[in-house]
Amino acid sequence: MRVLIVDDNQTNLILLRRLVEKIEGCRPLVFSDPLQALMEASTSDVDLAVVDYMMPGVDGLSFIRRFRSFPNGEDVPIVMITTAEERAILHAALEAGATDFLTKPIETVEFLSRVKNLLRLREAQNRLRDQARELAAKVKTATRALAAREEEIILRLSRAAERRDDGTGTHIVRMAALCRLIAEGLGLDEETVHTISLAAPMHDVGKIGVPDAILLKPGGLDSEERQAMEKHTEYGFEILDGSNSELIRLAAEMALSHHERWDGTGYPRGLAGEDIPLSGRIAAVADVCDALASERPYKPAWPLEAIKAYLIESCGSQFDPRCVQALLKRWDEVQSLYASGPPPLTAAA
């Protein structure tokens, strides 16, 4: 263990060094200059500090205060050596962060006993710290594994639902990639961007409640069929609502709101502007963009330039202008997405 010794008196330094060397497993680091000692303590870990009170320039109290300000100096035991047990000095040292005191002249047995006790305390602290770090690492690993499994299940179940009206099941993957581009373009933090891109594949999960005759109809829908189709937003919300998972709650919000329109003429609730959840506004742009770019039984795929023109035209009516602009800023990546084909299943993660 590393013991920092600071005293401007060379005789005291030699004595203290020899005493510390008697303790098995201890390595003394001796300094007559407190500023050099502080530099050492600021850049490397020590397990105990022994510091004299009376020193020129930086006295023991100032040393302790500065030492305690280091991130690695908060819990290190500090012994201050004084010439007398003056209460005012002892109280000031305690307030500065001293752990224990010794008075001159140093008595060998007392010094060794107190230092050994403090080093045992430090050793126990180090063990607890290491155990806490190990436990935190295990928890982090386990949490990541659980999240990865949750994400994979979500993606695969979403793909299974999507295959009812998209034989390739790639719409959800491209749509998730577009949601990520929009969320990043809006300047959202990475955790939020990640969660939105993971929730996106579940936006149409409610389609499992729509009859095939309506979902797969090659022509246009009549008003009754259209109403039945629009129910998929509420079905999706009902399927996903009430979860303890932040990801599933966001997916429920997205499922319910991705067909709302900026001007308030959308469904199912007729929300307008920023009353529409941001996740729904992002999903609306991404969903329409990929739907237009995809071939369906009732329409051919649109060229990307036509889609771009439609998005611009629909700013402020169908779509949140900020979301459209966020996607247009990344249009080169949109073109690459469709030129190279959909990303792999795990790309949304």
Contact 194, 245 (CB under 8 A): no
pLDDT of residue 6: 94
CATH placement of domain 2-133: 3.40.50.2300
Whole-number Å distance between alpha carbons of 300 and 289 = 14
In the chain, alpha helices (H) = 10-21, 34-43, 60-68, 87-96, 108-162, 171-185, 190-199, 212-215, 223-230, 232-240, 246-257, 278-293, 304-313, 321-328, 331-340
pLDDT of residue 347: 40
pLDDT of residue 349: 35
Contact 93, 101 (CB under 8 A): yes
pLDDT of residue 272: 97
Coil, strand or helix at 171: helix
In 97-231, alpha helices (H) = 108-162, 171-185, 190-199, 212-215, 223-230
CATH architecture of 163-348: Orthogonal Bundle (1.10)
Q: Per the structure block, which two tokens stand in for 295?
A: 């071939």
Q: DSSP secondary-structure letter at 74?
A: S
> Domain ranges in the chain?
2-133, 163-348
CA nearest to 272, candidates 264, 280, 284: 264
Q: Helices 304-313 and 321-328 sit at what angle, rounded to 10 degrees?
A: 150
Mean pLDDT by 10 residues, the chain (349 residues): 92 92 92 92 92 89 93 90 80 89 89 92 88 90 78 72 62 91 96 93 89 82 92 93 89 96 96 97 96 81 94 96 97 91 48
pLDDT of residue 165: 62
